[in-house]
Structure 1
Amino acid sequence: MAPAGLFPIGLVGCGTVGTGVVRILQSSADLLAAQAGQSLTLRHVVVRDLTRARDVDLSGCAVSDSLDALIADPSVQAVVHVVGGVEGPRQDIVRLLQSGKDVITANKALLCAHGDELFELARSLGRTIGFEAAVAGGIPIISTVCTALTANRILAIEAILNGTSNFILTRMLDRRQIYDDVLREAQQLGYAEADPAMDVDGTDAAQKLAILAKLAFGTAIPFDRIARQGIQNIDLQDLLAAADLGYRIKLLAVARLMTERLEVSVQPTLVRADRSIAMTSGAHNFIAIEGDAVGVLKLAGAGAGRLPTASAVVADLVDCVTGRAACTFQALLRLQQRNPLPLHPSADIARRQYLRFNVADRPHVLADIAHVLGRHGISISSVRQDETEDSVDGTGVARLVILTHRAAEGCLQAADNEIDCLDSLRGPRIRMPIAD
């Protein structure tokens, strides 16, 4: 057993977040001891590659490439698990819980896929799982939903939950750069992975939204039921056109109650430029959460990165030491026992839309598109066409932007299918909702 006044800790994974945890434990040891009432002592570190150099001092703890020694140490009561992937981490956390240890994780993909299973296992064993760092990095949104807002019925969540996409969209507009160039810069700065697909296609934000929606609304949402669209097809001209119209384009994660049904989506969306969420720049996250009593709360800050994410992990550790984690985890379990809400049929969701087409610069093209929209009950609010050089033979390409009045998604999809068959289209087009 550990000496009185010491709280031994295990760490699985010593990459970006793991090294951040070590740094905070070492640099803020006195502050953390005062907060926790005990000294947090790192006793075991488990890594994949023992030969890899790391920029933190691990000389005071046992370093291995196996969980076995960590699991066998009865003095370790809490383990930080910050390894990516799903199946391997699931097996690790099951073993850790079964060995009598509380677990802190930042793995949103794991919780999205197996959260219910792991939470139930932890409950049955009298253990806890802390996961503040899994959503929005250093922003304390999990504790806000689970404890601070318990007097409220949550009505809506509107958020920027992926810093990589927000960085790309911000940089493109501010520096008038194209998507591919900014993506490369994001990779060089460490904001985007070598394979950025999960960030830019909306997967990462959708996983985080599913976790938040489960806590806020007591409803498990199958991942494939979240309307999801990425930012890959947005070009600089879309951002400039939106800005001219008084909007910014953001990858918006939304979960809201609509007549006792739940609407969930992750889509690039036009947001009024004077709104706080539109002014969230760079790799920052933003979450607006509306309660029936408190109104709208707004939280913003670093949604990723070594130290912001590690800050949330260490906060969960301190909660484990003080006993707050057990109270919060029980509150979380109670939140999940509510009657689930039905999902609002996506075809019935009505919103204004931004439509952008690259079309042949010839007569009747706009009329053809307007005719299709009109047949499906979609009313046009405004039309903008960039000026092009005169093309006598009709080989020129024009850029056409249409804003619509509110229209149901089912009608829009039916119109999409017809418009895709028009021979006047030249290259990809895009459709994005406009936030009211």
Structure 2
Amino acid sequence: MSAEPLQLGLIGVGNVGTGVAKILLNHPDRITRRSGRPVVIRRAVVRDLSKPRDLALPAGVLTDDVQAVIRDPEIKVAVELMGGIHPAREVVLELLKAGKDVVTANKALLCEHGDEIFQLARELGRTVAFEAAVAGGIPIIAAVGQSMAANQIVGIQAILNGTSNYILSEMLLRGQTYADALRGAQELGYAEADPALDVNGTDAAQKLGILAQLSFGTKVPLSEFHCSGIDKLEQADIEYAGDLGYTIKLLASARLVEGRLELSVRPTLIRRDRALAMTHGPFNAILLDGDVVGSVWYSGRGAGQDPTASAVTADIIDMAIGRAQLTFSRLDLWGESAGFPIAPLEETASRFYLRLAVDDRPHVMADITDILGRNNISLASVIQREAPEVEGDSPTPVVPLVIMTHRTKTGQLQAAEAALHKLGSVKYPWTVLAVAD
């Protein structure tokens, strides 16, 4: 066991950075035993030196100058926990050029600039470790890059955003409205004051993009696959899904179909007896399908100080013993393979759930089924709750109509929706959700 400590630079001492520092400071014997040498925080970069912190770092460690890490030749590994894309991109590139290996939890940065960062790291003989960028404390990067190395992954189904999953769980289990569930998530610290990236699907899409790159060798810009969130979901859809035997989850999905890659992040009906449907609260879950091993399941806390700090610290330990460097040199990363072509959205196929608001009068159902039929969309089931009887000149009541389709191409459904817009008896907007196989 080498006595020479690994000198570390910590850039960002917010929630996760504080968690990492506490693990290193509170468990030095454990870290030394598993790293083969001590790990020492030599510099910790913060924005505001005067801000009170629940952390007792040695004197002289805190600084507000990131150059104190970049220019220090004794620091061999830098941990980037700034978040966001700028100036994180510029800082990471400078760190690599200065001869540092980098640990990061920054999913947005890797999704947007992973190709540039990894290419530079390769050219300079440096390493980037990023276990905490996807699914917090779940070791999914190691699973895909190492444990599943004998396989071609052919499918991913995952819950990758704990905020959305908590909100959907509250809507299902407590009957809360979306607004009330979101407010509760914010009060508990599961959601930011501005929760847009969580609830509109962007956060999960960034994570899926990283997993898709590792699993399929394909870089997929977010603009090239379907991404929608839970911010327009209504309690009625939760209830109808339950009546049909399903639970709605924000599902991140990637799969190979006839040699092409289909990707999406969207609210999806999942049969309620499946493990994904039973994953509640701020938890993440990932189902991988390999062509050799079959299905493999991972679940755990996907966000928060402790789970994310656990993953970051594991990467630091891997850096200290050289395992991260060995793994990084063999990972199929950005720009290193042609990957699989991306299937156009209109050619992807799924079963669908439709909830329409329609006039309760003769021939409306016939008009709707005629449009669906002309677009080769077959119906699996229909639910229309009874409306009250009306007499005389009373307005025609509007009632909900819920349709479950058999498997159909997205393009066929889009064509049917365009025709439905022309029916005065069908009110817009309506709800369309995917149904998992």
TM-score (norm 1): 0.96
What does residue 292 of structure 1 align with?
A: 291
Alignment of 1:54-69 (within 5 A): 54-69=53-68
Could you give the per-residue CA deviations for residues 85-130 of structure 1, whole angstroms, max 9, x where no partner exists?
Answer: 1121000001111111111111111000100100011111111111
CA-atom RMSD in angstroms: 1.5
- 1:67 shift after superposition: 1.0
Give, in whole Å, the separation in 1 of the partners of 2:333 and 2:210: 15
Give, in whole Å, the separation in 2 of the partners of 1:178 and 1:367: 33
Give, in whole Å, the separation in 2 of the partners of 1:317 and 1:84: 18
Match of 1:248, SS?
strand
What does residue 88 of structure 1 align with?
A: 87
Matched, 1:407 2:408: yes
Alignment of 1:161-200 (within 5 A): 161-200=160-199
- 1:391 shift after superposition: 3.5
What does residue 39 of structure 1 align with?
A: 38
- 1:334 shift after superposition: 6.3
What does residue 423 of structure 1 align with?
A: 424
Match of 1:387, SS?
coil
Could you give the per-residue CA deviations for residues 333-358 of structure 1, whole angstroms, max 9, x where no partner exists?
Answer: 46862332111222122221100112
Match of 1:195, SS?
coil
Q: Residues 423 and 49 (structure 1 numbering): CA distance in 2 closer, same or farther, change over 3 Å?
A: farther
Q: Which moved more, 1:63-72 or 1:385-394?
A: 385-394
- 1:143 shift after superposition: 0.9
Q: Residues 334 and 249 (structure 1 numbering): CA distance in 2 closer, same or farther, change over 3 Å?
A: closer
Q: Could you list the structure 1 runs, at least 4 aligned residues long, displaced by more than 6 angstroms after superposition.
A: none
Asked if structure 2 preserves the Cα contact closer than 8 Å seen for 1:376 and 1:414, the reply is: yes
Q: Which moved more, 1:231-240 or 1:91-100?
A: 231-240
Q: Percent identity?
A: 51
Matched, 1:103 2:102: yes
Match of 2:429, SS?
coil
Asked if structure 2 preserves the Cα contact closer than 8 Å seen for 1:215 and 1:336, the reply is: no
Matched, 1:245 2:244: yes
- 1:388 shift after superposition: 2.9
Match of 1:331, SS?
coil
Q: Which moved more, 1:97-106 or 1:56-65?
A: 56-65
Could you give the per-residue CA deviations for residues 253-312 of structure 1, whole angstroms, max 9, x where no partner exists?
Answer: 111111111111111111111111111111111111111111111000001111100100
Alignment of 1:265-344 (within 5 A): 265-333=264-332, 337-344=336-343
Which residue identity does 1:420 align to in structure 2?
H
Match of 1:43, SS?
strand
Give, in whole Å, the separation in 1 of the partners of 2:116 and 2:332: 12
Which residue identity does 2:436 align to in structure 1?
A
Q: Residues 431 and 264 (structure 1 numbering): CA distance in 2 closer, same or farther, change over 3 Å?
A: same
Give, in whole Å, the separation in 2 of the partners of 1:175 and 1:221: 37
What does residue 153 of structure 1 align with?
A: 152
Match of 2:350, SS?
strand
Give, in whole Å, the separation in 1 of the partners of 2:308 and 2:333: 26
Give, in whole Å, the separation in 2 of the partners of 1:65 and 1:370: 65
Asked if structure 1 preserves the Cα contact closer than 8 Å seen for 2:130 and 2:312, the reply is: yes
- 1:324 shift after superposition: 0.4
- 1:61 shift after superposition: 4.5
Could you give the per-residue CA deviations for residues 215-254 of structure 1, whole angstroms, max 9, x where no partner exists?
Answer: 1011111211111121122111111111111111111111
Give, in whole Å, the separation in 2 of the partners of 1:181 and 1:391: 35
What does residue 127 of structure 2 align with?
A: 128
